Structure 1
């Protein structure tokens, strides 16, 4: 996986043990600026990984660094959190807030000063296509609009590391496409990790990490991931669609072909 583009995340031999079970078992990978899709079935360890990256779960062992700041060091963890944007799998809102108030509150929690808050909030709303919904209460939004609000909260302070846990889950095709376009644009300036079990979400990715039972089954560029389908379609007279290709690559990585 290419990491020369700056904002580098390094995960080395990461172990997270829950009682007698390994949620993550010696996981190692690197990610640079762009979008890393963390693909795997439910229970693969995706949410555990993301909670570790957000500083919300403890490691049993292993190293996690972002731009050289070490999660094991208190000052390093503070430095990472200052430049981290996290959207949990099940965002929790004060449903009495409007969209504007929710994003403004997230900026305040991140220590954004009043002088710069207005411009940053406006940019976050624009980036997530929420400007026209700014005065609507969060509880009156659709599921997709709430997901976009959670992303706006995560990016309002313009973080260098953005961690989005299942941002497209339960969305209809139109809302999913809108969220994927937002994610793709975020990857132009930040290191973005997106967890998913939906192969079509790879449309927004530059790199892929396949997790299963807490271990990496594949880690590399999306182009290299696609090459896993070469033999599958080499003798097929009908060109494969992108969806066919990603499904075939995922099956090949997991040993199902």
Structure 2
């Protein structure tokens, strides 16, 4: 029987293997991004090409052009509706036929594994300096398991419609002092998101990887503690969910039900 395995590479970069299909989320394969430096875990190196790359939105730490270019092979690039022009402009016209744009409620299928776009509460613009913008989305992957990759998001009412799930990959941190006011989840809100989606397993992501250069001792609790804080909150609000706090490069395998 098919199993589902997930490997966390840091930030929002996850390899998800389900039913013989390998997906890579929001690849960030670099040691530095603008003023942010990788402070934990090695820079990921991918030996095998994924079948598809899931890109949740245009922010540079999620749609990192050099990292997408460095992904081996020629995987599908599944992205929010409106992002294809940005991809072609920055990755070259040759990627156009590999781009699959989805809006919430739309889906595509890869060798029997369904990838469905779902809402996210987050700004979809590339940045204040850019005219490029597209929707911000999350994904529900349906194969042997039902997995939610949230991308970047704040809480939203429709979260309750996503469950029940087998695995939830939930962002729980960031580096800015105004984290929650800019469409992000902190550990407590991440646990509330988990309560809403009703998942059997959860893995916290989007924390403990990047930190501003020169700020190594500033708000370190926001860097190193969100994963365990999320697990503590989740133990109270979703006691039936098993939370696994992964180290960089560590994997979790979900066995099929007996």
TM normalised by structure 2 equals 0.34
Larger CA Rg, structure 1 vs 2: 1
More strand by share: 2
Which structure is higher in RCO with an 8 Å CA cutoff and minimum separation 6? 1
TM normalised by structure 1 equals 0.34
